Structure 1
Amino acid sequence: MSPAAERAIRLLGAAAVPRAVPGLAAEGWRQRRLAYLQAAPLALVFLVFFVVPLSLTLVVSVWEYNEYEIIPAFTLQNYADIFDGCFSGGDLCTTFRTYLSTLKFCLLAWAFTLGIGFTVAYFVAFHVRSSAIQTVLFLLCTIPFWTSNVIRMIAWIPLLGRNGLVNDALMSLGLTDRPIEGLLYSDFSVVLAFVHLYTVFMIVPIFNSMMRIDPVLIEAARDAGATGWQTLWSVIVPLSKPGIAIGSIFVLTLAMGDFVTVGVMGGQQIASVGKVIQVQMSYLQFPAAAANAVVLLGAVTLVIAGLTRLIDLRREL
């Protein structure tokens, strides 16, 4: 190949390489700066109301304390006290039993809220065609949130108590000879209150996922000969997984840290991690309560990490 031909090829190759346009680079920098400015207020709120309190909790959890004062000296004794006797064999320690009790309530509440939430969301999304009626139904779901959680829980006491309406009705119908003791201040009442409080947190994300399902997919499944259950299991449930995962995160995280519901509906007789932290704070044992809160946060983080590994929410959303 002649030198002239080689020079021509090099010139053509240099011309084919795109060159940065100063105007476009400046415009890209302005867009990135605008994005940062838009995210700054939310980032500031996140920093002030989440990162700073969490950091303070972590710091206090490694401080010493006694009956009279909190001593700002580093120690891991608070964490050692939490797991005292848990790895020596034999029976389960108090911490593990408390976490198992809390996990039991969380799983029961999750199962019931998932069943009710999926059913309600499916009915509203696919059987209610009018948007006005859908709005009315959602308002009905949110009416309980117009009052305090404590008031809503207290409202169950006249119904489930020993002389409550439910026991009176059962005895009037001859279904039982005496009042049923386990309706109130029991595991049943705690799970019932959880379902009452948190079902709406399962309904809304599942409904949002179902509304994004293209009706053409459902029609295609029906045209292919799929039954209603096959369409539900093979089309609707897989496409609703993001909403199910988000609702599950809401319900599990709220139930794991709840101590008011367990205290009111359990008659102060049922142990939970949130209840332990509340009792320690009432006795001014803030470092011990902070250490328990850090451990609870770690457990909740593991649950969320497990759910996000099952479903890639960033990709699905």
Structure 2
Amino acid sequence: MIRTARTAVTAWLQAAPLAAVFAVFFVIPLGLIVMVSFWQATDYELIPAFTAQSYLDVFHGCGDSLVTPGQDVCVTLKTYGSTLKFSLITWAVTAVLGFSIAYFLAFHIRSQLMQTVLFIVCTVPFWTSNVIRMISWVPLLGRNGLVNQALLGLGWVKEPVEWLLFSDFSVILAFVHLYTMFMIVPIFNSMMRIDRRLLEAARDNGASPWQTVWHVVLPLSRTGLIIGSIFVLALVMGDFVTVGVMGGQQIASVGKIIQVQASYLQFPLAAANAVVLLAAVLMMIVALMRLVNLRKEL
């Protein structure tokens, strides 16, 4: 019993530094945000008095739009719908790209050195800041950009294409560019743990390459796909810089609303929106976690 107690104490002492960092930089700030979301605010001061008015303001008009037929959807639901649309489209594209690239690296590149080199090539965009990577699309997709000039030169269009930049397309393109790597890494890690004899057994039993991928590789890569999905969905749901830059400040998102409210010193309303966004993201993560037992798989 003494040895067990000592082991438990040692384990707690080993976990204490990380727990302290987690508490200081995550739990306490999150608690402060929740606390401020229940404060009152005037034009010039914050009043630490409990009220749920900020949450009522967040969902103002949403009840009427859900009950009354033909009523316009409230701003909050519209914004969450737009943000969710960006998240799901980005998730679908990054999942296909991430799975394809990871599959190529894991099963078609035999040399471990070449796998490492190509994997490093995939990380090259991360050598610069997100803002620089987003701005680099402007001279490519702009009205007088390289893409429009090429299309005009080939005679495929008679006038510049307007929707290439400052549109939903450019926002999704930037999201895919920024976050595909977060999908590649966990899927590649899962694929590298697959026993290659399972692939040989599938081929020996007459399975086509597509059948092998669908019935063997994909199920065994599910853990990596779920982890990548959590990363991508959480990042896109809270992103406001990409939407602002690539959307030309014309496209709304939940993160953008929070940023604008904070800039106008509406801290309780911004905190309430942040809590609602956190709850929505946590529900998505819980739903994904139910698809796989990460503790068992990892």
The alpha-carbon deviation at position 143 of structure 1 amounts to 1.1
Question: Residue 53 of structure 2: which of 77, 84, 108 is its match?
Answer: 77
Moved more, 181-190 or 144-153: 144-153
The alpha-carbon deviation at position 303 of structure 1 amounts to 0.3
- Alignment correspondent of 1:38: 14
Question: Residue 123 of structure 2: which of 127, 142, 145 is its match?
Answer: 142
- Alignment correspondent of 2:241: 260
The count of corresponding residues between Structure 1 and Structure 2 is 293
Task: Encode CA deviations 1:57-102: one digit per residue, 9 max, x unaligned.
Answer: 0000000001111111111000000001101132210000000000
Question: Residue 272 of structure 2: which of 277, 291, 304 is its match?
Answer: 291
Q: Distance in 2 between matches of 1:305 and 1:256?
A: 15
Matched, 1:129 2:104: no
- Alignment correspondent of 1:107: 88
Question: Residue 270 of structure 1: which of 251, 264, 279 is its match?
Answer: 251
Matched, 1:61 2:37: yes
User: Please, what TM-score do these two structures have when normalized by structure 1?
Assistant: 0.91
| Residue aligned with 1:67, SS | coil
Q: Distance in 2 between matches of 1:114 and 1:249?
A: 11
Matched, 1:236 2:217: yes
The alpha-carbon deviation at position 26 of structure 1 amounts to 2.3
| Residue aligned with 1:178, SS | coil
Task: Encode CA deviations 1:136-174: one digit per residue, 9 max, x unaligned.
Answer: 111111111111100110000000000000000000001
| Residue aligned with 1:181, SS | coil
- Alignment correspondent of 1:163: 144
Q: In structure 1, what residue type is equivalent to 2:283?
A: L
Moved more, 83-92 or 102-111: 83-92
Question: Structure 1: where are the runs of 5+ without partners?
Answer: 1-24
The alpha-carbon deviation at position 30 of structure 1 amounts to 2.0
- Alignment correspondent of 1:26: 2
Task: Encode CA deviations 1:198-257: one digit per residue, 9 max, x unaligned.
Answer: 000000000000000011111111111111111111110000000000000000000000
Q: Distance in 1 between matches of 2:240 and 2:174?
A: 12
Matched, 1:180 2:161: yes
Moved more, 185-194 or 142-151: 142-151
Q: What are the residue-to-residue correspondences of 1:240-251 with 2, within 5 Å? A: 240-251=221-232
Q: Distance in 2 between matches of 1:208 and 1:35?
A: 28
| Residue aligned with 1:51, SS | helix
Q: In structure 1, what residue type is equivalent to 2:77?
A: F
Matched, 1:206 2:206: no
Q: Distance in 2 between matches of 1:44 and 1:141?
A: 34
| Residue aligned with 2:48, SS | strand
Q: Distance in 2 between matches of 1:27 and 1:213?
A: 39
The alpha-carbon deviation at position 294 of structure 1 amounts to 0.2
Moved over 3 A (4+): none
Matched, 1:47 2:32: no
Task: Encode CA deviations 1:103-159: one digit per residue, 9 max, x unaligned.
Answer: 000001001100100000000000111111111111111111111100110000000
Q: In structure 2, what residue type is equivalent to 1:228?
A: P
| Residue aligned with 1:87, SS | helix
Question: Structure 2: where are the runs of 5+ without partners?
Answer: none
Question: Residue 178 of structure 2: which of 194, 197, 213 is its match?
Answer: 197
Q: Distance in 2 between matches of 1:35 and 1:137?
A: 39
Q: In structure 1, what residue type is equivalent to 2:113?
A: A
Q: In structure 2, what residue type is equivalent to 1:297?
A: L
User: Please, what TM-score do these two structures have when normalized by structure 2?
Assistant: 0.97
- The percentage of counterpart residues that share the same residue type is 67
Matched, 1:96 2:77: yes
Q: Distance in 2 between matches of 1:72 and 1:114?
A: 44
Moved more, 65-74 or 307-316: 307-316
Task: Specify the structure having the higher radius of gyration (Cα).
Answer: 1
Structural RMSD (CA): 0.7
| Residue aligned with 1:310, SS | coil
